[in-house]
Chains A and B, each alone.
Chain A
Amino acid sequence: MLKATVYVTIKKSVLDPQGVAVQGALRSVGFQEVESLRIGKYMEMTLDTDDRAVAEERLKEMCEKLLANTVIEDYRYELED
């Protein structure tokens, strides 16, 4: 079994209205150092395989096909035993 963590975020080139709103909220309560903020999605899953290479390939496919919309989002993933 492998544990996978997938992070999906709005692309740098695309405006993230949620991130902008939360950044504004933080600044308004005194956290002036917040230069930028982006909100994303965090997903964790367990995979029924021990083969990391296969798992990575399958994860990439999952991200491209469903988990991220690559028109507006970037993704990355981590794998651990």
Chain B
Amino acid sequence: MKFAVLVFPGSNCDIDCYKAVEDTLGEPVDYVWHTATDLSAYDCILVPGGFSYGDYLRCGAISQFAPVMAEVAKAAEQGKFVLGICNGFQILTEAGLLPGALRRNMSMKFRCHDSVLKVVNNTTPFTVDYAKDEEIIIPIAHGEGNYYCDEETLEQLKVNNQIVFTYSDNPNGSVADIAGVSNIQGNVVGMMPHPERAANALLGSEDGKRMFTSILKTWRDRHGAASIR
């Protein structure tokens, strides 16, 4: 299984994502520059955190038009796994690959600390190694993580089981305590907390590891099933 970690000017969690894949899974992983126009070699695309294009105008607003984003849309369409973390989540919402938007934190403060998340949906390719409603510790680090969607969209998210993670103690004012959502198909997930920063006990938590093992497990299950036919 092959992973791509996208790199935009201003990404700063790309190395963490790369290391998390390398150390947790040992599967091949490449950095892919934002100007790339072909992602066909990759099975999973990680859109990392940071301040792409300086977060000018809005977080993710300019990145959504980077050449590589058309390829990300294509990969999502093909059912490949796409995970946006923090700024990556903002980019995916701006690009319309995920519903909603991220606003300034209610407190107007940049919040950087551990957060307790509840795994609401453990059936996505990114969460199968967690138990439903399990509480995990994953750090957050953002000033604009206040998730918003209108009531109609929120109903849809609930009906379609698109709420993947919620905060146990809402740090930013997000609607319905939402920390992460998926698209309807479940192959695109965005989240403000950083699982790649919780991939080693030395960093305070290993709870993020299972996101990566979930991806590999799901891919193996699907790949194995496909090759038998």
Contacts and interface: CB of A to CB of B under 8 A. Distances in A.
Chains A and B are bound partners: yes
Contacts of A66: 57, 61-62, 65
A41 to B, nearest CB: 8
B148 interface: yes
Given A71-B148, A72-B148, A17 B57 contact: no
Contacts of B107: 17
Contacts, number: 37
A13 B106 CA distance: 15
Most buried by A among B101, B103, B108, B173: B103
A17 B101 contact: no
A17 B148 contact: no
* Chain B binding surface, main DSSP class: loop
Contact of B108 (A10, A13, A17): A17
B52 interface: no
Contact of A69 (B94, B149, B173): B94
A14 interface: yes
Interface residues of B, number: 20
B101 A69 contact: yes
A15 interface: yes
Contacts of B108: 17-18, 21
Contacts of A72: 101, 103, 148
Interface string B44-87: 00000000000001100110010000000000000000000000
B61 A15 contact: no
A67 B61 CA distance: 8
A71 B173 contact: no
B104 A18 contact: yes
A27 B208 CA distance: 44
B105 interface: yes
B149 A17 contact: no
B94 A17 contact: no
Interface string A16-49: 0110010000000000000000000100000000
Interface in B102-146: 103-108, 146
Contacts of A17: 103-108, 146, 173
A15 B173 contact: yes
A21 B109 CA distance: 11
A36 to B, nearest CB: 17
Contacts of A69: 58, 61, 94, 101
Given A66-B61, A66-B65, A69-B94, A15 B150 contact: no
A66 B57 CA distance: 9
A72 B60 CA distance: 14
Closest 5 CB pairs of A and B: A71-B101, A72-B101, A17-B104, A17-B106, A21-B108
